A and B are shown apart, each in its own frame.
Chain A
Amino acid sequence: MISVNNLSFKYPSGVEVLNDISFTIPKGAFVALIGQNGAGKTTLLKQFNSLLRPTTGRVLIAGIDTSSATTGKLAQKVGFLFQNPDHQIFMANVEREIGFGPKNLGLSKTEVRQRVARAAAAVGLTPYLTENPLFLSKGQRQRVAFASVLAMKPEILVLDEPTTGQDYQEGLEIMEMVKELNEQGHTIVFVTHDMELVARYAKRVIVLSQGRILLDDSCHNVFYQPAILRETNLFPPQIAKLIQKFAKQPFEFGKPLSVDEAYQEFLKYTESEPDVCCS
């Protein structure tokens, strides 16, 4: 679905941000892109819809070479949810706001109306279609932005910090909707610095540091490599941090990331060493 081959990127000012990056993301993947500030995460995301183009190397989105495709053309394949919904809201009512994207795709009025209705329903904004989006709460505006992306029916969904600056509950709601889309077959790539979020939703994690890929592995494997993570100033989620403190113990704790998984590990431990518990 997304194929990155020896991608390097330099800004016109000469600053090199991405250095010989290669990886493939198959259809249906749920990938988190993490790394410290300035590692190049957002720069990499913007390569996926031609907002930025490779200086050397190639990026293929569903077979299309991004260097010869406009952002507008790739908008059909790649839906980009930005961090701040206020950077895109400008229409007088929610219906027209959500319809902006489909309209740009040149779809018929009927098709646009249908897509808007479906997208609004998916995010629970149907009662607000006639409201002015500027007067909605922050969480609702983020959902308007999300519906705007959904209405384009992209196969790939790219999210840049979907929960930063959000209320905890609303952030989770957006991620749950994203998870549902992934279960329906959409490919998801998201950037965040909330490691608990990564542990909860991502199936695969790519760690970027100074423009290079440090790690590209499953969630569980990535968060149990503390030395590498420290190199890039990232902390693993709490549970992983905790279990790693038991690394020198004879019992093999596995690699739990959630409370559930960790709980199971401790149960296993008590079963294997029944005389040890409860001092």
Chain B
Amino acid sequence: MSVVVEYIAKGSFVHRLNPLTKLFWSVTLMTLSFFFRDPRMLAGLFFSIVAVAYMAGILKEMWPAFKGLLIVAGLFILFQIFFIADGKTILVLIPGIQIGHVKGIGRITDQGLWGCLAMGARMMVIAASFPVLMGTTKIKDLVVVLVEKLKIPYTYAFMFVTSLRFIPTLMQEMDQIMQAQCSRGHRLDEQNFFKKFLSLCPLAIPLIVTSVKKAERLAISMETRGFGIGARTYLYRNDFRPIDIMVNIALTFILATGLFLNLKGIIG
């Protein structure tokens, strides 16, 4: 989980870009991915994200996330591919058996293959830019941009950021709860699905109770430091630098060109 949202400190130019620029980059990618249908173009977009991660010097840390995405996309393709019947049949898994008027079980058609690969690649493009964004942007900078430029109310941005800060804390609590319950003979290796679900109760309830208590105490601590009384200032501001302007112009150009060529049927 944390590999998706943790800031990885390196001094690359990607890190130095204004969060707004990086958000625009993410939006550009997502927009293009919705219009492109060719899995090769979409794969190209994905590799451009990998290239950006490399430029930012965080490719090694991003690799587990990318790998995970590849697996999810692969599974998705696997589950969908047998349900698209249009087009020419390329492959049949179990030929010979006929069900109704359908010959063979597990038919893969050319359109099915093409379409599913495109869907899988699109999913990867949409999901892959987020960890790269979070890995190169300090959360506090992101919050400032969200609140000041995108006019999201501070309270929501704050809730998001603070929840992230508590993830390690709650994971430690969960560890301690598991140890306490196992020491009372509680078993976590149930095979039966229903029993497995029930075996989570002795873990979930203490975690929820502890979390609620912590939340209440945190709220009191925040109130005694003036939280939420009105407009606030920020210690760090992010300026728009020449490099940001250049990158944004480049992105706008890429987005406009991509959409134009796509609508004209030339690419995508």
A and B touch in the complex (CB under 8 A): yes
| A51/B206 in contact, CB under 8 A | no
Query: Is the CB of B151 closer than 8 A to any CB of chain A?
Result: no
Query: Is the CB of B127 closer than 8 A to any CB of chain A?
Result: no
> Which residues from 59 to 108 on chain A have a C-beta closer than 8 Å to any C-beta of chain B?
71-72, 75-76, 78-80, 82, 84, 86-90, 100-101, 104-105
User: CA–CA, A272 to B143, complex, Å?
Assistant: 75
Query: Is the CB of A46 closer than 8 A to any CB of chain B?
Result: yes
B184: chain A residues at CB < 8 Å are 75, 88, 100-101, 104, 148-149, 152
CB of A54, distance to nearest CB on chain B (Å): 17
Query: Is the CB of A192 closer than 8 A to any CB of chain B?
Result: no
Chain A residue nearest to B201 (CB atoms) is: A90
A49: chain B residues at CB < 8 Å are 183
Q: A46-B179, A51-B179, A82-B176 known; A87 and B210 CB under 8 Å?
A: yes
| A80/B183 in contact, CB under 8 A | yes
A134: chain B residues at CB < 8 Å are 209
| B206/A82 in contact, CB under 8 A | no
Q: A88-B177, A90-B205 known; A75 and B183 CB under 8 Å?
A: yes
Chain A, interface size category, equals: 20 to 34
User: CA–CA, A149 to B179, complex, Å?
Assistant: 14
Contact with A along B17-42 (1 / 0, CB 8 A): 00000000000000000000000000
Q: Is the interface of B mostly helix, strand, loop or mixed?
A: helix
A72: chain B residues at CB < 8 Å are 182, 185-187
Query: Is the CB of B213 closer than 8 A to any CB of chain A?
Result: yes
Q: Which of B186, B187, B201 has the most CB of A within 10 A?
A: B186
B68: chain A residues at CB < 8 Å are none
Q: A46-B179, A51-B179 known; A86 and B206 CB under 8 Å?
A: yes
Query: Is the CB of B180 closer than 8 A to any CB of chain A?
Result: yes
| B176/A84 in contact, CB under 8 A | yes
CB of B213, distance to nearest CB on chain A (Å): 7
B89: chain A residues at CB < 8 Å are none
CB of B184, distance to nearest CB on chain A (Å): 4
> Which residues from 207 to 236 on chain B have a C-beta closer than 8 Å to any C-beta of chain A?
209-210, 213
B177: chain A residues at CB < 8 Å are 87-88
Query: Is the CB of B257 closer than 8 A to any CB of chain A?
Result: no
CB of B169, distance to nearest CB on chain A (Å): 13
Chain B residue nearest to A51 (CB atoms) is: B179
| B181/A88 in contact, CB under 8 A | yes
Q: Which of B176, B181, B182, B209 has the most CB of A within 10 A?
A: B182
> Which residues from 127 to 186 on chain B have a C-beta closer than 8 Å to any C-beta of chain A?
173, 176-177, 179-186
B183: chain A residues at CB < 8 Å are 49, 51, 71, 75, 78-80, 82
CB of A191, distance to nearest CB on chain B (Å): 14
| A105/B185 in contact, CB under 8 A | yes
User: CA–CA, A88 to B180, complex, Å?
Assistant: 6
B179: chain A residues at CB < 8 Å are 46, 51, 82
Query: Is the CB of B104 closer than 8 A to any CB of chain A?
Result: no
User: CA–CA, A100 to B254, complex, Å?
Assistant: 63
CB of A238, distance to nearest CB on chain B (Å): 32
B209: chain A residues at CB < 8 Å are 86, 89-90, 134
B201: chain A residues at CB < 8 Å are 90
Can you sample 19 A-B contacts with CB below 8 Å?
A: A51-B179, A71-B185, A72-B185, A80-B183, A82-B176, A82-B180, A82-B183, A86-B210, A87-B180, A88-B177, A88-B180, A88-B206, A89-B205, A89-B206, A90-B209, A100-B184, A101-B184, A104-B187, A134-B209
Listed in ascending order, the chain B residues whose CB lies under 8 Å from chain A are 173, 176-177, 179-187, 201-202, 205-206, 209-210, 213
Q: Which 10 A-B pairs have the closest CB atoms?
A: A104-B185, A90-B205, A80-B183, A101-B184, A75-B185, A88-B180, A71-B182, A87-B180, A72-B185, A87-B177
